[in-house]
A and B are shown apart, each in its own frame.
Chain A
Amino acid sequence: MRDPGRPGDSPREILLHLPDGQDFSRALEALDRQLSGADPMDVVVDIGTRKLSTRELLRLEEAISRHGSRLLRVTESPSRKGGSTLRIVGSSGSRHREVVEEESQRPSEDFERTLLHKGVLRAGQMIKYGGNVVILGDVNPGAEVIAGGDVVVVGTVRGLIHAGARGNSAAIVVALRLDPVQLRIGRHFSRRPEDGPTEEGGPEMAWVQDGRIVVEEYRSDVRRR
């Protein structure tokens, strides 16, 4: 899935590889050499099939920012087969974003899949998933959830949610409290749910009705379509 609405701004982008089968520190040294003396750039790092720990991600970022460049994105080579892989994608600079991204290799099954995230989704963090997403915690201002299916937030939504991101307008968003900067369902979007957050109280649900996003009190008997 591609980032929607992310402008292709920034200076120069460069793709660097961390070769498979090479010790992480070694690979990092090589990358360090490649960057030394170069102008500041937006760096995309291809990590092949390796998995990065958070610590390694921070080291990677440190190595890149040392040269005045910034880590824009971490990608994998598509050689990995089947299943879905959880990965952390990060970039630094003034608009730092740490992204928790999950992408399935088999889109046809996405709809049945659900990703559970425990904890607050904070500014600069993003979850992107082909299936449904459940978050046990708040979605804060500056955080984004982009799901192919439904989004359920057991907490307050203050950030951006995009349900049915592949054009499925039947997707729904359920949250204990909906106060998002922006809500998108399928191709529809609203700055703030037009009906506004309901009075303090029960959970709320947003879905598309007659071509616009409406928010109502959640009722367990509400069925889609």
Chain B
Amino acid sequence: MGTALVVTSGKGGVGKTMVTANLGVALAELGKLVAMVDMDVGLRNLDIIMGLENRIVYDLNDVIDGQCKLQQALIMDKRFDNLYLLPAAQTRDKSSITSRQMRELCAELKDRFDFVLLDCPAGIEHGFTVSVAGADEAIVVTTPELNAVRDADRVIGLLEAAGHRNPYLIINRVRPRLVRRNQSLRVQEVVDILAVGLLGVIPEDERVVASMNLGEPVVLYGGEVAHAFRDIARRMLGEEVPMLPVEEGRGVLGALRRMMGIG
């Protein structure tokens, strides 16, 4: 029996889909059987990021409506035969899936997969409620900006109310240079405010944008972002992996500034 995790944020555009895709790949690399579900009906893009859009025949709504079997709608990844995508419908009434249907679908997916990753739409409306209903655990994605953190906080409150007592936190698009100039919140400040367990920190990297356009998750490129995702995947499997010091600037200057309390 696998685990279903919802990847959510409140604020849009902070990197839920990017996280879902790369976490899927990183878990698959470790030999886990993974299903990614695109819950963003009407705005689907997980398939594009994975480079799988041309293989879609059936979608999530077809499965729910009984138009096809789950197996027929699942698309196998090009690179990993243990990674699958269940795409969202392109055009559909956004509210046509109920929480109960979602729970049933996730139960079926968990029978077959080790991890089920639900890429949640932005906001806290119906799509959020339904995605959360199907999940055992939640990953909250935020960027180190005040308004994103506030929306994440709101979402964590709602998750708690729905019984998800200990959501995980991923802080995306951390820019060490801005942090050092005090133009961005520090990782520790974000963690202090949200008061939930930190699963990982992902740096800003131009290659993320390029990779998304090419349909090749950035984990496959190597580099710092890839490293961060591989660490996260290992943490999810229960390994103790220390956080990379993404933002601190290891230099003497950084240490000095910290000692003097101006860093």
Contact = CB atoms under 8 A, between A and B. Distances in A.
Interface of A: 54-55, 57-59, 61-62, 65-66, 88, 92, 94, 96, 98, 119-120, 122-125, 137-138, 140-142, 156, 158
A96 B123 CA distance: 10
A127 B213 CA distance: 46
A141 B150 contact: yes
A149 to B, nearest CB: 25
Ordered nearest first, which 6 A-B pairs have the shortest CB separation? A122-B157, A123-B153, A123-B154, A124-B154, A66-B95, A122-B153
DSSP majority for the B interface?
Answer: helix
Nearest to A156: B192
A140 B192 CA distance: 10
B124 interface: yes
Contacts of B173: none
B157 A125 contact: yes
A92 B124 contact: yes
A123 B126 contact: no
Nearest to B94: A66
Contacts of A61: 129
Interface in B143-163: 146, 149-151, 153-154, 156-158, 160-163
Contacts of A124: 153-154, 157
A65 B154 contact: no
Given A123-B150, A141-B193, A65 B125 contact: yes
B195 interface: yes
A98 B157 contact: yes
Given A138-B195, A140-B193, A158-B193, A123 B129 contact: no
Contacts of B99: 59, 62
14 contacts: A54-B161, A57-B161, A62-B126, A65-B125, A66-B95, A96-B124, A96-B154, A122-B157, A122-B160, A123-B151, A140-B150, A142-B150, A142-B153, A158-B193
A121 to B, nearest CB: 8
B205 to A, nearest CB: 28
- Max chain B CB contacts within 10 Å: which of A88, A119, A123? A123
A58 B154 contact: no
